[in-house]
Amino acid sequence: MNTSEDKFTSLFHDLVELMRKLRSKDGCPWDKEQSHASLKPHLVEEAYEVIDAIDSGDPDKLKEELADLFFHIIFHCQIAKEKGEFDIGGVVALCLEKMTRRHPHVFGDATATTPEEAIHQWEQIKKQEKGYEERKFVVDGLPKHLPALQKAQKLQKKVAKVGFDWTNINDVIAKVDEELCEVKEAIRENKPGNIEEEIGDLLFSVVNLSRFLKLDTENVLHKTIYKVVDRFKRVETELAATGKDIGKCTLEEMDAVWNKIKKFDARKNL
């Protein structure tokens, strides 16, 4: 074992020991009270902060956020160890075994020369694994807490694999138009239950259009949200520069500045 491997082993051991100390009798009151369930919102938050760091393009920020996320893995492993369920060693061993088994084109005799072939092989191997037998239907296995846009896109990918999919983008666009018309009809009829259902159908069809165009719907919407945030800040800034309080402005005043900024952005992107 070389020096760098020795250092990694030592650091990993120190981190596991630090977590044990935090959960010990003389440890941190907050850490000692935590459970798998109580840590769920923090785990989700840390995962999203990693995504923010990736989007920022800042490697130092990404390193910091990955450290926070990794700490949560150690945290959950320590809790499980205390309950006599498993420990970090078991998790690492399982990861090594699973990833080796799912890459037979790298570690075995199978072949996969394209990403599509690798994914197909991955899916076929998963079907043979423990727990997969509980999935009786194609649409089983959707993560319960996955954000709705991601869950919709994952569902669409599942049914597309068995051929339940559009073959022409014009048909996908026509479906979006159809669902929008049904939303308008539900609004005209003033039936709240129907309105909710039809808006859901419209959102689902828009996700389908995004997927068909090989776009990640969650990412697409995030970009639009940040664009709107940026533009509205500029609206506030421009109004303030003219001595106006945005809280006292009319919709027409705000809309005029908004459209001005929107046109500027459109020219800039030409």
Q: Give the pLDDT of the chain (270 residues) as one tens digit per residue.
A: 567 888 999 999 999 999 999 999 999 999 999 999 999 999 999 999 999 999 999 999 999 999 999 999 999 999 999 999 999 999 999 999 999 999 999 999 999 999 999 998 998 998 888 777 778 898 998 988 899 999 999 999 999 989 999 999 999 999 999 999 999 999 999 999 999 999 999 999 999 999 999 999 999 999 999 999 999 999 999 999 999 999 999 999 999 999 999 999 998 876
| pLDDT at site 127 | 83
In sequence order, what are the residues at sequence separation of 6 or more whose Cβ sits closer than 8 angstroms to the Cβ of residue 140?
134
Q: Give the CB-side neighbour count of residue 182, counting CA atoms within 13 A.
A: 17
| pLDDT at site 1 | 54
| pLDDT at site 133 | 73
Rounded to two decimals, the pTM is 0.76
Q: Count the Cβ atoms, other than its own, within 10 Å of residue 122.
A: 14
In sequence order, what are the residues at sequence separation of 6 or more whose Cβ sits closer than 8 angstroms to the Cβ of residue 201?
179, 182, 183
Q: Distance between CA atoms of 21 and 29, rounded to whole angstroms?
A: 11
Cα distances (Å, whole numbers) of residue 102 to 51, 117, 141, 184, 192: 25, 12, 18, 48, 48
In the structure encoding, which two tokens stand for residue 243, read together? 């001595």
Domains of the chain: 3-101 (1.10.287.1080), 104-134 (no CATH), 148-215 (1.10.287.1080), 218-268 (no CATH)
| pLDDT at site 138 | 87
